[in-house]
Every structure is written in structure tokens, then in C-alpha cells.
Amino acid sequence: MDQAVNKATTRIAILGAGMSGLGAAAKLKEAGYSVIDIFEKSGGVGGTWRDNTYPGCGCDVPSHLYSYSFELNPDWDYKWSLQPQILKYFEDFADKYDVRRHCRFNTEITECRWDDAANSWTLTDRAGKTYTADVLISGLGQLNIPHTPNFPGLDTFKGGAFHSARWDHSVGLKGKTVAVIGNGPSAVQFVPEIQKVVGKMLSFQRSPAWCRPRGQRAYDAKAKKYFAGADWRINWYRWRIRAFADFGFGAFLQKSPLGLADSMKKMCQKHLEDQVQDPVLREKLTPDFEPGCKRILISDDYYPALAKPNVDVLRQGIKAVTPDGVIGEDGQEYKCDAIIWATGFQSTEFLTPMQVYGRNGLSLNQAWKDGAEAFKGMAVSGFPNLFLLYGPNTNLGHNSIILMVEHQIHYMIQCIDKIAEKGVAAIDVTPSAMTAYNVRVQSEIAKTVWASDCHSWYKNEAGKVTNNWYGKTTDYKKETRTPDWTDFEVVKG
């Protein structure tokens, strides 16, 4: 067997030039693969950090950890960096690792179909052009398709309306009455920014969320010089952030050890009490579910913005849109000049709207009719040589997703090496391995706060938690260290 030859000829298609796709391409190149095509719908790299340009957009994971372990950056301006610098990090990464030349920009893949006879994937783009690949990798993640609820009258609104993840900078907000629908991590970042310029803000909150302090800090030249001095300094800092966050994972268990959940709740309650003096507003902003069931908001300036006289917090959702505003759940019309949908993403639909067909024409939608699931979050039985990065049950509520994606890349490359071996060509996770894995995942998730009573993007409509990993990042690292080949079968074309 001459594996080098096979590595050199294995055709790899990656969907998406965001954080996962770029990291995968860089590591695949390092491993000796060279026939790599990255299909990117937009005109540039960066994924979510290119799409989201709302005021105040930033990361709610500290930047020294929200970056690849193999591409440390001593130059972060803030502990929690803002979108322009994060986007630049990924753009610079694409240049340094020479990934751009593998990118096919403005190419949206609409269908991927496994060819049983040829043992390969056929990809079709929106223009109808087809491409062939031996291995298909999705770097689309969980939060790439914005969700705007289809309210009656949506198209009748006369003012400007847009989703937070597709911010329309041409809509002037200065002095205007602006309705913000939703209060998740996106809203919490842009509300303090636009509150300063709008005439009036109507903040519709169907269910207020728990919020903890952020403790933003800038890194001055001295701090950057310290980090630049030696890699171990950043690595030590990364290790501490990761270990502390993993220790705090206990706060997300229903039987929380060491009183961690109570401490988390007390911290959030104190934050609200410290920042909101008005008891009526405080009451409105007090959640009715356990902290962590939805992602905990992290902000120093969200509550103070909501307490400003030009903001009305309405503890209700909306029912409809009119030409002049929105109808609240209380049946009243609230007139406004602009509507901002901070209503999140189609998080549980994963690869949708793309159509994916596996062995014998099996559709992924059909395979996932009871909710998305994958083996180790990456492989789906019946879909050979397909690997999902940031796939089902790999999201975190407490630590950096980049850690998880790096573990996935490490595991996936071992699988692709297997595929490249002489006489293999295609592998598929066995139905029994996939079932056993997901039974275990769901039984562990039942012990976490994500399975408790709240509406969140971690669950599908039936209430199954399809998005989150059940443990610490170190648990997932162990899970993905080395493939057990008895979990896979070799597929003969």
C-alpha cells in the first residue's frame, strides 16, 4: 500500500469557510491531503463572524481560548474580543495556512448525494453544476441560518425590518422607535449599543434570561508583549480558562455538586439586583427557569441599558406584524419605525436547506425525522465518508466550541486516513454503534439542566436536546481520541 499516493489523490469537499471548515482544511493539508475544495456560499471566509455585523457583536468566550490551539494570538485587544478582530483572525488564518486557494466562493451547495457504485459524493450547486468528492465534511455548524418567525402580516410592515444576524446598516435607527424581538445572546450585545441612539426601544421578551457579569477588560501593549513573549504563557492562560469552565460545568447538572448551580443562580440574581433598582423592572427581568437551561447571557451593560428611560421592557412575545408596528401577545398594537428580529437560528435543522442523500438514496431528513443525531456528533449511519463538524450534540453552554471542533478534526483525520488506505475507500458507522452512542448521550443529557423545563435552541420541537454535548470538554476529548474500528464498516462500492 502506498498511502502517500492515496492521500495525494483523495478528493475532499468541505462545506463552509467558517471556523470549522478553515481549521479542518489547515489540518488536512498538514496531514498530507491536497485535493481539497471548500464550498462557500458567500464571497469570503469567516462564516458566522462574517455574517454577524451587528453593533457590539463579539464573543462570549474569552478570546485566548476562542482561537485554535495551533494558532495562538497574543494580540487580542480585549478579553472578550469584538467581531472585527475575530473576523480578522480567521482571515489571517486563511492566508497563513494558504486555505483561500482551496475556496470556491459564491458557491452554494444545495444537494449532496452518495453514489453507491462509485463510492463517492456528488455535490450540486445552486447553478446546477456538479462536483465529485471521496469525503464530504460539513463545516456549516449549528447557527448559520437565521430564524425569523413567520408572523401574520410580516410582509406588510412599512418600516425597516431585519434579522440581527443579517444587520441592515442602511436602516437608520437614530431617534426612531425600534422594536427588538427576543433577548438571547445576540440581543444582549446590540441592545446596549443601539439604546444610546434610538428614540425609543420596545424590548419584547417572551421569557427573560439569566445574565451574569462579563468583566470586560482591554489588553494593553504590556499585556500583549507578555503573551507574545512565550507560547507557554498563552497556553497556561488557555488551560486555566478551560479548566475553570469545565469545573463550572457542574452548575449545569440537575444534581449539581458543591452547590455550583446555587452559586451560579445567586451570582445572576445579584447581578440583576446590583444593576436594576426598579423592583417592577427587576421582577419583569427575573427568569422562571433554572440558570443554564438556555444559554446564560454574559453582559455588563445589558441591564443598565434596559433600565434607561427610553426603553420599555415588555414581558411578552408578539402575535402579528402590522404596517405600522407589531401586535403584542396582549393584543395591543405597538407602533414602531423598525423591527429587529433577535430571534435566533434554525439550530436544530443542521444541514437544512441542503438536501443530503446517503446509501440507497436514504435522505438525511428521513434519517433525522425524530431529531438530528450523529455518532460522536460527526458520523451518521447510512452516510459513508460524511463528517459533521460542530454537529448534533456537540454544542457547549460553558466552554469554547473551538476546543470541540479541534477534537473532531483530530478524530476525523484518523477516519480519513483509514478511507485513504488501500482497499478501503469508504467507511460507514454501523447502526448499532450509532444507536448505542445516542442512547448513552440522551441518558446523560437527561441529567443536565438543558433537559429541564424551558424553551431553548438546544432542543427540537419535540423537546429532544439535539444540540448540546452532555459533559466537560475533557470528556469529549477522551471520547474522540482514537476511532474504534469495530464501530465502522467498510463499504464496498
Closer residue to ligand N01, CB minimum distance, 119 or 207: 207
Determine if 44 is a binding residue for ligand N01 (CB under 6 A): no
Closer residue to ligand N01, CB minimum distance, 24 or 340: 340
CA angle 63, 472, 50 (to 5 degrees): 35
Least separation, in Å, of the C-beta of 121 and ligand N01?
29
Task: Quote the CA–CA distance of 21 and 15 in Å, as a whole number.
Answer: 7
Least separation, in Å, of the C-beta of 204 and ligand N01?
6
Least separation, in Å, of the C-beta of 485 and ligand N01?
34
Cβ(405)–Cβ(390) under 8 Å? yes
Determine if 455 is a binding residue for ligand N01 (CB under 6 A): yes
Residues within window 171-200 making contact with ligand N01, judged by CB under 6 A: 181-187
Please select the residue that binds ligand N01; options are 29, 100, 200, 206, rule is CB under 6 A: 206
Least separation, in Å, of the C-beta of 441 and ligand N01?
19
Task: Quote the CA–CA distance of 82 and 63 in Å, as a whole number.
Answer: 9
Residues within window 363-422 making contact with ligand N01, judged by CB under 6 A: none
| Cβ contacts of 177 within 8 Å, gap of 6 or more | 198, 199, 200, 201, 202, 335, 336, 337, 338
Least separation, in Å, of the C-beta of 295 and ligand N01?
4
Least separation, in Å, of the C-beta of 19 and ligand N01?
10
Closer residue to ligand N01, CB minimum distance, 325 or 483: 325
Least separation, in Å, of the C-beta of 282 and ligand N01?
18
Closer residue to ligand N01, CB minimum distance, 143 or 451: 143
Closer residue to ligand N01, CB minimum distance, 120 or 400: 400
Closer residue to ligand N01, CB minimum distance, 302 or 345: 345
Binding mask 308-337 for ligand N01 (x = CB under 6 A): ---------xx-------------------
Least separation, in Å, of the C-beta of 230 and ligand N01?
28
Q: At what angle do helices 231-248 and 221-229 cross, to 10 degrees?
A: 100
Determine if 465 is a binding residue for ligand N01 (CB under 6 A): no
Binding mask 52-71 for ligand N01 (x = CB under 6 A): ------xxx-----------
- What are the distances in angstroms from CA 454 to CA 90, 449, 460, 466? 34, 9, 12, 15
Closer residue to ligand N01, CB minimum distance, 326 or 429: 326
Residues within window 145-164 making contact with ligand N01, judged by CB under 6 A: 149
Binding mask 338-367 for ligand N01 (x = CB under 6 A): ----xxxx----------------------
Strands 297-298 and 177-181: unpaired
Closer residue to ligand N01, CB minimum distance, 106 or 346: 346
Least separation, in Å, of the C-beta of 30 and ligand N01?
26
* Total site size for ligand N01, rule CB under 6 A: 24
Determine if 143 is a binding residue for ligand N01 (CB under 6 A): yes
Least separation, in Å, of the C-beta of 317 and ligand N01?
3
Least separation, in Å, of the C-beta of 475 and ligand N01?
20
Determine if 93 is a binding residue for ligand N01 (CB under 6 A): no
Please select the residue that binds ligand N01; options are 210, 457, 476, 488, rule is CB under 6 A: 457
Please select the residue that binds ligand N01; options are 42, 106, 122, 207, rule is CB under 6 A: 207
Residues 190-206 as b/e (b if ≥16 CB within 10 A, e otherwise) read bbbbbbeebebbbbbbe
Least separation, in Å, of the C-beta of 449 and ligand N01?
14
Residues lying near ligand N01 in the complex (CB under 6 A) are found at 58-60, 143, 149, 181-187, 206-207, 294-295, 317-318, 342-345, 455, 457
